[in-house]
């Protein structure tokens, strides 16, 4: 099974909408008082369904959000309040 992933865009605002009609919100994670990450997934598969396999994709969205949050902190592109 071949799988691919890509980051279309990273917004510093709060985009609670999909980029295209194919993308579906799989997770919103509030990382800090002023920062929320929204993870959208676009998938074309006969084996998996975002709605049918919701717990898996919910966990996947959490892992992606946490990884991105830590990467932004380490790179200096995001700072926590009071830092």
Residue 43, in any domain of the structure? yes
Residue 66, in any domain of the structure? yes
Residue 55, in any domain of the structure? yes
Residue 10, in any domain of the structure? no
- Alpha-carbon distance of 74 to 24, in angstroms, equals 28
- Alpha-carbon distance of 9 to 12, in angstroms, equals 10
- The predicted-structure confidence for 62-74, as pLDDT tens digits, reads as follows 888 888 888 888 8
- Alpha-carbon distance of 44 to 42, in angstroms, equals 7
Which of 36, 41, 48 lies closest to 8, judged by CA?
41
**How many distinct structural domains can be found in the chain?**
1
Residue 67, in any domain of the structure? yes
- The predicted-structure confidence for 38-69, as pLDDT tens digits, reads as follows 888 877 778 888 888 888 988 888 888 888 88
- Please give the model's pTM, rounded to 2 decimal places: 0.64
Domain of 46 in residue numbering reads as 24-75
Residue 17, in any domain of the structure? no
């Amino acid at each position: 099974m071949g799988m691919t992933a890509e980051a279309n865009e990273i917004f510093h605002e709060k985009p609670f909408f999909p980029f295209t009609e194919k993308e579906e919100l799989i997770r919103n994670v509030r990382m800090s008082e002023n920062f929320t990450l929204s993870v959208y997934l676009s998938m074309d598969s006969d084996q998996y369904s975002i709605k049918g396999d919701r717990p898996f994709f919910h966990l996947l969205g959490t892992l992606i959000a946490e990884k991105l949050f830590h990467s932004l902190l380490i790179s200096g592109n995001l700072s926590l309040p009071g830092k």
